[in-house]
C-alpha cells in the first residue's frame, strides 16, 4: 500500500521550498525510517550481542557502536534491551556526540539531556571522566535516570535545572572540557516517524524557540573551558534555529570560534564548523550539528 502523503502547513511549504527540493523532502517523509541501535560497549561487544539477537545488521559509518538492524518492529522489546545491552537510537542522533571528540577523562556537560540517548553514548566513551546530565522537565529527568541506570553509567550526576541558568552558577564557569547543547526545537527532522511537526509548524513558534536556543548556547559556552569544544545540535531545519543561533553566539563572544566537523557521513556544509544532514544524504532523519571552540 502506498504511504499516505503527510499533511503540512502552507507556511511550512513556502519556507522550506527556499531551502531544498520540497518534493524530494516530502517523498522522503513517506519512506520508512531504518531501525538503528547503539551497542552498549560497557556491558557487551557487538559480536556477542548480535549472536544473541540473531538480527541482520549493518555498521553505521559515523558511530563507533551504531548499527542499522534488519527488524521491522520490536527493537525495544527484548531482554537484551531491558538489561542495557543496547539503546534504540536513530542514526543521525549519534552524530553530535561523535562530533564532540570526547577524550576519556573529560568533564562533560549535557545541557538538555533527557531521555538520555546522547548522555549514555557519552558515558560509554568517557568511562574515566565525569558527566553532568541536565534537563528542566521532571518527567523527562525520571526517564533520564532510568536509562542511565539501565545502561550502567555510574559516573554521571543528574541535575534538574533550566539550562540557561548554568551560566550563572559560579562553580560551572569554564568548568567543562566538552559541552553538548542538543537544544529543544521544532523537530521537523523527526517527521519520518511522526509528521505532526510539519502540520503544526509556524514561523512564530520558530521565532520563540530560537530565542530560547540562543540563551542555551550562550549558557553552554560560558561553562566551556578555554581550549574546549561545544557542539550545538538540533533535529530540525529552519535557519533561525540553526545557523542564526550559532551566528548569534559568534557575534556575542570574541573568543568563540568554529571547529571542523569530521564525520564519516554525507552532509551539506552550513558555514564554517557546521553541517546540515537531510534524509537523502544517509537515509536518516534531519540534523544540524555545529562545532564551537573557545580561545
CATH topology of domain 34-89: Alpha-Beta Plaits (3.30.70)
Give ∠ CA 137-138-143 in degrees, rounded to 5. Answer: 95
DSSP state of 288: E
pLDDT of residue 263: 95
The burial of 155, by beta-carbon neighbours within 10 Å (0-12 exposed, 13-18 middle, 19 or more buried), is given as middle
In angstroms, the CA 141 to CA 261 distance is 30
Task: Give the residue numbers annotated as catalytic, written as ranges.
Answer: 235
**How does 122-151 read in b/e, with b if 16+ C-beta sit within 10 Å?**
bbbbbeebbbbbbbbeeebbeebbebbebb
Percentage of the chain exceeding pLDDT 90: 95
Place of cell 523532502: 25
pLDDT confidence of residue 8? 95
For residue 272, the model assigns a pLDDT of: 84
Q: Which residues of the chain fall below pLDDT 70?
A: 1-3
pLDDT, tens digit, 9 for 90 and up, residues 70-126: 998 999 999 999 999 999 999 999 999 999 999 999 999 999 999 999 999 999 999
pLDDT of amino acid 5: 85
What's this model's pTM, rounded to 2 decimal places? 0.96
Using a 10 angstrom Cβ sphere, with 0-12 exposed, 13-18 middle and 19 or more buried, the burial of residue 19 is: middle
Question: What's the pLDDT score for residue 222?
Answer: 97
- Domain spans of the chain, in order of start: 10-31+92-294, 34-89
The confidence score (pLDDT) of residue 1 equals: 52
**Amino acid 70: pLDDT:** 97
Q: What CATH class has 10-31+92-294?
A: alpha beta
Amino acid at each position: 500500500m502506498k504511504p499516505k502523503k503527510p499533511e503540512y502547513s502552507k507556511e511550512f511549504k513556502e519556507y522550506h521550498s527556499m531551502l531544498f527540493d520540497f518534493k524530494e523532502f516530502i517523498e522522503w517523509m513517506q519512506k520508512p525510517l531504518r531501525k538503528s541501535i547503539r551497542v552498549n560497549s560497557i556491558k557487551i561487544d557487538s559480536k556477542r550481542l548480535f549472536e544473541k539477537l540473531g538480527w541482520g545488521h549493518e555498521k553505521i559509518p559515523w558511530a563507533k557502536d551504531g548499527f542499522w538492524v534488519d527488524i521491522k518492529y520490536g527493537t525495544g522489546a527484548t531482554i537484551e534491551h531491558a538489561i542495557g545491552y543496547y539503546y534504540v537510537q536513530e542514526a543521525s542522533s549519534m552524530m553530535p556526540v561523535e562530533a564532540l571528540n570526547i577524550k576519556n577523562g573529560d568533564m562533560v556537560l549535557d545541557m538538555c539531556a533527557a531521555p538520555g540517548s546522547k548522555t549514555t553514548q557519552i558515558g560509554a566513551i568517557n568511562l574515566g571522566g565525569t558527566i553532568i546530565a541536565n534537563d528542566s522537565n521532571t518527567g523527562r529527568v525520571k526517564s533520564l535516570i532510568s536509562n542511565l541506570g539501565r545502561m550502567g553509567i555510574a559516573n554521571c550526576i543528574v541535575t534538574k535545572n533550566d539550562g540557561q541558568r548554568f551560566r550563572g552558577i559560579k562553580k560551572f564557569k569554564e568548568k567543562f572540557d566538552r559541552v553538548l547543547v542538543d537544544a529543544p526545537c521544532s523537530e521537523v527532522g523527526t517527521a519520518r516517524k511522526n509528521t505532526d511537526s510539519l502540520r503544526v509548524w509556524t514561523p512564530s513558534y520558530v521565532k520563540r524557540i530560537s530565542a530560547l536556543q540562543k540563551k542555551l548556547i550562550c549558557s553552554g559556552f560560558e561553562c566551556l573551558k578555554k581550549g574546549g569544544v561545544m557542539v550545538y545540535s538540533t533535529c530540525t531545519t529552519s535557519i533561525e534555529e540553526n545557523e542564526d543561533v550559532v551566528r548569534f553566539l559568534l557575534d556575542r563572544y570574541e573568543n568563540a570560534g568554529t571547529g571542523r566537523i569530521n564525520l564519516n557521513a554525507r552532509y551539506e556544509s552550513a558555514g564554517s564548523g557546521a553541517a546540515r544532514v537531510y534524509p537523502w544524504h544517509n537515509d536518516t532523519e534531519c540534523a544540524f550539528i555545529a562545532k564551537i571552540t573557545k580561545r
